[in-house]
Chain A
Amino acid sequence: MWIVALVVVIVLVLAIVAYVATQPTGPPAPPTVLVVGTTEVEETLDPADAYNYFSVNMLQNTMATLLTYSESGDGTLAPNLLTEVPSDANGGITPNGLTYTLHLRQDAEFEDGTPINASVVKFSIDRSVKAMFDPAANQDRLAVPSFLLDPIEGANAYFTAFTGLIDDPANHTQAEVDAAWANYVASGVEVVDEWTVEIHMGRVWSPMVQLLAFTSMTPVNPNAFTQDAFKPAATDISASGPFRVAAFVPGERAELVRNPTWFGTPAQMEKVVIRFYQTGSALALALESGEIDVAYRNLDPQDFNRLAGDARFRAESGSSPVIRYLVFKANSAPFDDPDLRRALAYAVDRGPIVETVFLNSTAPLYSLVPEGMFGHKDVFLTQYPRNVATARTMIEAAGFSAANPLTFNLWYTPSRYGTTEADVAQLIKQAWEETGVVQVTLQNQEWGTYRQSFRQGLFNVFLLGWFPDYLDPDNYVFPFLHCGSGGTASFGSWYCNNPLDAQIELQARQTDPAQREQTLFGIQDTLAADVPYIPLWQTTQQIVYKPSVTGIVLDDSQLFRYYTLKIT
């Protein structure tokens, strides 16, 4: 026994001596690694499949997108793999809006030297379309974002053929699907020459140019990706952007190292490590302990404010297109009565939510189209300035009173949107109950159950949030308000307004900005008139970092650029 103890002691002493001996001596070398902490989670680094924030952001830093967002921070599109942003003026979009001509730069290549030419672009877009509905392309999962490519010529017919085969195999055949696919391949994306591609649209769809900056259209290396399988390992994606992925341990870290084949300005740091944390408080503590250099997404409001006041750090807030809102189930009592929805819009009070819960780190929102985006109009600000008396009168007119109050549950989910949700729900309840004729009971469910419940129509009023995929007002009106596509049902609203559907389709076809803006204003006026949703607030991006870190850009695009970061 004593001999064992002695051996253990000797081993420990030797180990400590060895450790001390291996410690670096002399003045500290300049840092070569920058560490960014986040609470985000990765899902996949396949552009055809990536649809959550972190996966998309990793791709934006490792794969060259066709277009990107200007580093000026104003959210405007800029060339990347394309030499110019297609427009009517430069001939990149035909006058009928049905053909997009993409001119590729000729010096872009993947890690292995494969050039990114027109064939690669066609392969990649076709792959994204095919991956959506072909079981052989993914054994266990469909590519979710590919539905965005539906407006491309032939894509919708292919999707329809495939859906028909799945839903009604007795009356549809695989041959129909194959024919539809062949038609798509022949008509959708055309290789004009080695460096020019044309995308033919099945219908005019103005947001297409924004989609060119989204990762689902990002070219992938045919040597690393096939049409028959998804998700190569993160380290095998064959980078074409500023970084390549050197190591990836899910839930723990991602290591990005400078990609020497990137055509643009080289990344400032040779290596950036992204550390994953499971809670906002752990992220804040990690910054305080010096474990990380940058804390980005998602600090709790009180931690952000505390760190912002700490001289050891710098803090910045940037605009964000993420919005939060209330949803009414508009096709059943009591909220099939628009007057009740309007009354609650009068009574809701955004001020305390923004000031008390978020400590002014968010901004009140008065439309579904976020502030700062083309087509935004503050319709709820003008139409529903807070007025408890008016709300009370309207609710009483609907037959309710102090003795017989309008009684309902307000649902929220406690962790999906951070730790603040219960406080938000409490403030909304208080604001509505100020009318004296409303009685609200707060209820919550975990996200896994919550999303199922609202889609099954089990909630009359509930809180929800929207993380956009492409930065166009269409992304804030079509999914929310278009009844015919099933969008409103998927939001748990079931609001239907056929003339509004037509207006939403119209704005997507309009290529003249002034005309489209007017249509968008009209759509938002209808939104305010019918109140299937109450917009509440617009989030901000927040970041806290050491003063020795430079190169941080926060803008509407939510493109967090690891390649501009530097630590000295």
Chain B
Amino acid sequence: MSRAAGSLRAYIIQRLILTVPMVFILLTLVFYFLRAAPGDPVSAILGERNPELGDLLRQQLGLNEPLHVQYFDYLRRVFTGDMGNSIFTGRPVAEDIGRRLPATVELAIASMFVAAFVGVILGVVSATHRDRPADIISRLIAAVLYNTPIFWFGIMMQLIFAVRLGWFDVGGRLDARLSLPPSVTGLYTVDSLVAGDIRVFFDAVAHLVLPATTLGLVLSGFFARMVRANMLQTLQSDYVEAAEARGVRPFTVFYRHALKNAMVPVATTMGLTFAILFSGAILTESVFSWPGMGSYVADAIDARDYPALQGAVVYYAIIIVVISVLIDIVNAWLDPRIRY
């Protein structure tokens, strides 16, 4: 086993061990912040009526217990894998998250694909044509994309491509007239292929196009700026000059040497962005009626649904940790000099 592989493995183990206190701190903060915020789930359920039920409901929900009792009960539940029932939907939180997660995963992957593809191309074009028209145009496009309000952009996409041209549906994951594929993974694109239903597969992909493009393009503006900045810095490195002096072809210098090194910080940012996308893109989900984690969490906040929010935080913590570790592995692959 090489020394590099050994150090990476030790690092990953260390990171996984550190996950426990990290999740613990997160859970604690969320638990206390939620209860410090005005509003509570009892008034969310009862609305304006029947106040005499309030105390009883608090009793049943355990909300009249001392805070520390609630807290330890909550921790006990989490560490035994029981995230409780959502106060609002009444269903187990794990079940709710399990239903919402596939939609978020599909959207996150598709958006990230668009963002990385467009962002890297714009950034590279910009960096390799520094201060020339291609650079200016690329930077302009990136700046416009980066500063575009996603809510407005999404509605424009709907108006043009769904309403005016009729190419896509306005929202949702699948044409309502098509039957849902038998659930295997919850990802309609995968489940339709498993079921051999190519029509549903294409429809599921078509439903991803508008939300993924909207979200991906907005994110690509940021990635383009990062790629350009890192690429320019890398192109000024001694080893690039040395390679050019030795007569290495510019294409090889740019794409084999400079781009790969420039991608190390970009990959880190992309990875973290990817992790954030896994927690749901509230505005995009809202515009495209995409039933993912973002809208679930937004509804849970509105309803002060403590178990749902706390469950979502556990899930986020796990996602962030897993993706952070993956980023480190990718970085080690991109730059063999990196040691942990």
Residues on A lying within 8 angstroms of B by beta carbon are 15, 18-19, 22-23, 31, 33, 35, 41, 43-44, 49, 133, 135, 138-142, 144, 147, 162-163, 166-167, 230-231, 247, 249-253, 255, 273, 275-279, 281-282, 285-286, 288-292, 446-453, 455, 464, 466, 479, 485-487, 489-492
Contact = CB atoms under 8 A, between A and B. Distances in A.
Contacts of A35: 176-177
B60 interface: yes
Given A279-B286, A490-B50, A250 B176 contact: no
B158 interface: yes
Nearest to A134: B60
Given A250-B99, A282-B158, A491 B48 contact: yes
B43 A486 contact: no
Contacts of B105: none
Given A18-B198, A141-B61, 10 more contacts: A33-B177, A44-B90, A140-B84, A140-B90, A142-B53, A147-B50, A252-B173, A273-B176, A285-B155, A449-B37
A494 B302 CA distance: 25
B176 A292 contact: yes
Contacts of B49: 479, 487, 490
Given A167-B55, A455-B51, A142 B172 contact: no
Contacts of A142: 45, 53, 56-57, 60
B171 A277 contact: yes
Given A251-B100, A253-B172, A141 B45 contact: yes
B336 to A, nearest CB: 20
B293 to A, nearest CB: 11
Given A15-B198, A251-B100, A289 B169 contact: yes
Nearest to A39: B289
A252 B204 CA distance: 13
24 contacts: A19-B199, A138-B90, A140-B87, A142-B45, A142-B53, A144-B46, A144-B50, A144-B53, A230-B90, A231-B90, A247-B180, A250-B99, A251-B291, A252-B291, A275-B172, A278-B285, A278-B286, A447-B302, A448-B302, A448-B304, A449-B37, A450-B39, A452-B43, A479-B48
B51 A489 contact: yes
Which of the four size classes fits the interface of chain B?
Answer: 35 or more
B233 interface: no
Nearest to A490: B51
A447 to B, nearest CB: 6
| Highest count of chain A CB atoms <10 Å: which of B56, B295, B299 | B56
A450 B39 CA distance: 8
Interface string B304-337: 1001000000000000000000000000000000
Given A250-B99, A479-B48, A43 B289 contact: no
Given A141-B45, A144-B45, A282 B51 contact: no
B149 interface: no
B91 interface: yes
Contacts of B89: 43-44, 250
Nearest to A247: B180
| Highest count of chain A CB atoms <10 Å: which of B37, B49, B307 | B49
